[in-house]
């Protein structure tokens, strides 16, 4: 996938050497903290917050009740559906170089939710919106194992509804119901607000909460409870759900073999589909926990967020539109800026989902392909995630497999692939085996390929070779691979690679160049990019140049897609 220096997947190695640096003058003048934070109640549960404009400030981070809520260019912000009682505001100013001020003083105000039907508080002046009312009676009913049917009453004048589940906006729908699947055992919440044809929103509904059991009884499904007029508690991948109860009637897993180096998930030994015979398990993760195992995984691509001696550098490859968020990063600025906005890794006790969302920090297109964190973040359309075993696990030869459900959404570019452990100055042919790639607008097609470079040196990125396996590397069986989980694998032996989908061989290649070096694993959910926009006969969208993904209609229909991963397993030949 990598074609030229700092562009495309095979250019990542060149980009990571620091050959293409963007030198930005140091900014030393700190922006002042906002003064005079204040607020007024303008309706039941609604407060208009304000603060004094700060010279040199380009935007402000708004912190309500000690939690970040948004970034705005204006010295004011309105919060709705606040809890009854005391609520607080603090603000940080941010200059054009993304330098942050100190946090402002704290302002507190008492909110009375009893005035929620068009009346202002007796102690506060202000006006309220007209009678376009929030949806009433939000509720949820268990619809299956890990599934909830959310419902609410229709609002007169509404054309759509924005549904927020577990604190994260999920989708716009014209219906008065929505089904959530693949939810973890434990608590979940939902609120909804209506939208009219002029893009006016109501306030948010009361909160419907439901506790999902670990089983599904169709005669007695779980139902929502404890509705109230507060925003939902954030229950996402940064807040661990309740622990899954272990069935003590099951025998404990067998001990790990002597050859276990800590790269094998102990849960794997309990799985009935672990291979034996010619294969010996050498790496696995069943994703049955609630966090990313940092002993096995990195939360970023190795050239993205790399330390260049002065600062962390971030890179854009293939013309893609995402910024990868890494909760395991050593870059504290990355953690402070991005993790409050989105953690792409979601766990439900049986699988990992890598979810993409729209980037709330985007400001525009600036035409850069690498640079400091804030320069890259402010131009990318989406936030997403990637995991790799670089510097943790790599192997030559064997079987590499993952059970995956691809998102099947326009613009998504999920991939499961192997890449070279050695850097250019360490001796490499920049080997890459693409086990599974897909373009989300065509979920019936899976792509297999092999890349390597000749004449690689510390100062030259090499001569690219792109090999399509037989018969074509483009797999079409008539199956929509986004509807269910499928197992994608390669079996690699000297001079030979075979690709499999659900244990059926779909491609193969004989080429001695594949034997050059050890490879590590990567799984990522990219968005957009050059390939997505190629002509239709190359698998792309076939759009005119002025409609490159994501166009405005793509953003309007964006629904936070996810790449779901049941497990990853690697075997070595016995």
Residue 493 CB partners (closer than 8 Å, separation 6+): 397, 573
The encoded tokens of residue 286 equal 């069943």
The encoded tokens of residue 360 equal 């709330």
**259: in domain:** no
CATH number at 77 reads: 2.60.40.10
pLDDT at 113: 59
pLDDT at 29: 45
Q: Verify that 440 and 511 share a domain, yes or no.
A: yes
The encoded tokens of residue 450 equal 């092999």
**45: in domain:** yes
pLDDT at 130: 43
| Segments of 312-444 assigned E as strands | 312-315, 322-324, 345-347, 352-355, 357-358, 370-372, 382-384, 386-388, 398-405, 412-420, 432-437
DSSP, collapsed to helix, strand or coil, labels residue 50 as: strand
Q: Verify that 482 and 392 share a domain, yes or no.
A: yes
- Residue 90 belongs to domain spanning: 38-111
Closest-CA residue to 399 (of 503, 259, 254): 503
Q: Verify that 66 and 185 share a domain, yes or no.
A: no
Tally the domains of the chain: 3
pLDDT at 2: 39
Which ranges constitute the DSSP H helices of 218-360? 332-338
Q: Verify that 104 and 147 share a domain, yes or no.
A: no
Q: Verify that 500 and 387 share a domain, yes or no.
A: yes
pLDDT at 115: 41
Q: Verify that 476 and 545 share a domain, yes or no.
A: yes
Q: Kindly report whether the global pTM for this prediction surpasses the value 0.75.
A: no
**92: in domain:** yes
Q: Verify that 87 and 158 share a domain, yes or no.
A: no
Q: Verify that 62 and 166 share a domain, yes or no.
A: no
**99: in domain:** yes
Q: Verify that 100 and 156 share a domain, yes or no.
A: no
**130: in domain:** no
Q: Verify that 154 and 43 share a domain, yes or no.
A: no
Residue 34 is classified by DSSP as P
pLDDT at 317: 92
CATH number at 522 reads: 2.60.120.200
Q: Verify that 324 and 190 share a domain, yes or no.
A: no
pLDDT at 168: 58
Output the tens digit of pLDDT for each of the chain's 574 residues. Answer: 433 333 334 333 333 333 333 333 333 346 889 999 998 887 777 888 999 888 888 788 888 887 777 777 778 888 877 877 888 999 988 877 677 888 898 898 888 754 433 322 222 222 223 457 888 889 999 988 878 899 999 998 899 888 877 655 556 788 898 888 767 667 777 888 888 887 777 877 888 888 888 678 888 888 886 454 333 332 233 333 333 333 333 333 444 443 434 799 999 999 999 999 999 999 999 999 888 888 899 999 999 998 887 788 999 999 999 999 999 998 989 988 998 889 999 998 899 999 999 999 999 988 888 999 999 999 999 999 999 999 999 999 999 999 999 999 999 999 999 999 998 889 999 999 999 999 999 999 999 999 999 999 988 989 999 999 999 999 999 899 999 999 999 999 999 999 999 999 999 999 999 999 999 999 999 999 999 998 887 788 998 888 899 998 999 889 899 999 999 999 999 9
Instruction: Show which of 111, 127, 148 is a domain's final residue.
Output: 111
């Amino acid at each position: 996938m990598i074609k030229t220096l700092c562009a495309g997947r095979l250019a990542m190695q060149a980009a990571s050497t620091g050959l293409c640096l963007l030198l930005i003058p140091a900014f030393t003048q700190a922006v002042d903290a906002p003064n005079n934070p204040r607020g007024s109640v303008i309706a039941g549960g609604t407060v208009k917050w304000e603060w004094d404009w700060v010279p040199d400030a380009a935007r402000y981070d708004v912190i309500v009740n000690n939690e970040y809520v948004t970034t705005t260019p204006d010295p004011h912000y309105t919060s709705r559906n606040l809890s009854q009682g005391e609520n607080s505001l603090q603000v940080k100013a941010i200059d054009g170089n993304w330098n942050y001020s100190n946090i402002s003083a704290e302002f507190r105000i008492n909110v009375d939710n009893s005035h929620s039907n068009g009346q202002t508080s007796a102690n506060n002046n202000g006006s309220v919106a007209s009678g376009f009312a929030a949806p009433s009676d939000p509720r949820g009913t268990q619809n299956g194992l890990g599934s909830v049917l959310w419902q609410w009453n229709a609002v007169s004048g509404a054309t759509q509804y924005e549904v927020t589940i577990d604190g994260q906006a999920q989708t716009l729908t014209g219906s008065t119901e929505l089904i959530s699947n693949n939810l973890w055992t434990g608590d979940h919440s939902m609120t909804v607000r209506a939208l009219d044809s002029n893009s006016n929103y109501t306030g948010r509904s009361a909160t419907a909460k439901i506790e999902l059991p670990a089983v599904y009884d169709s005669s007695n499904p779980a139902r929502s409870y404890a509705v109230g007029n507060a925003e939902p508690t954030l229950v996402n991948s940064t807040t661990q759900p309740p622990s899954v109860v272990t069935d003590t009637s099951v025998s404990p897993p067998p001990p790990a073999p002597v050859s276990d180096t800590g790269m094998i998930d102990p849960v794997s030994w309990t799985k009935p589909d672990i291979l034996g015979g010619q294969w010996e398990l050498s790496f696995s993760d069943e994703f049955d926990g609630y966090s990313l195992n940092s002993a096995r995984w990195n939360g970023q691509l190795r050239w993205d967020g790399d330390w260049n001696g002065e600062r962390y550098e971030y890179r854009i490859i293939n013309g893609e539109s995402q910024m990868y968020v890494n909760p395991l990063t050593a870059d504290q600025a990355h953690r402070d800026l991005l993790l409050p906005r989105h953690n792409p890794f979601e766990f439900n006790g049986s699988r990992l989902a890598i979810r993409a969302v729209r980037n709330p920090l985007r400001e525009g297109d600036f035409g850069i392909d690498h640079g400091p964190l804030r320069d890259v973040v402010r131009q990318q359309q989406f936030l997403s995630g990637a995991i790799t075993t670089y510097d943790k696990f790599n192997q030559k030869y064997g079987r590499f497999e993952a059970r995956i459900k691809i998102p099947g959404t326009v613009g998504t570019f999920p991939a499961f692939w192997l890449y070279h452990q050695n850097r250019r100055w360490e001796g490499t042919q920049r080997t890459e085996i693409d086990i599974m790639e897909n373009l989300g607008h065509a979920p019936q097609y899976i792509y297999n390929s092999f890349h390597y470079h000749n004449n690689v040196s510390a100062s030259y990125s090499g001569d690219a070779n792109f090999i399509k396996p037989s018969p074509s590397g483009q797999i079409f069986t008539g199956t929509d691979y986004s509807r269910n989980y499928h197992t994608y694998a390669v079996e690699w032996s000297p001079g030979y690679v075979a690709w499999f989908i659900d244990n059926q061989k779909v491609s193969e290649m004989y080429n001695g160049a594949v034997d050059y070096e050890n490879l590590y694993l990567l799984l990522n959910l990219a968005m957009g990019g050059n390939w997505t926009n190629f002509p239709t006969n190359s698998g792309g969208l076939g759009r005119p140049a002025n409609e490159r993904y994501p166009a405005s209609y793509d953003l309007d229909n964006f629904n936070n897609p996810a790449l779901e991963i049941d497990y990853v397993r690697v075997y070595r030949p016995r």
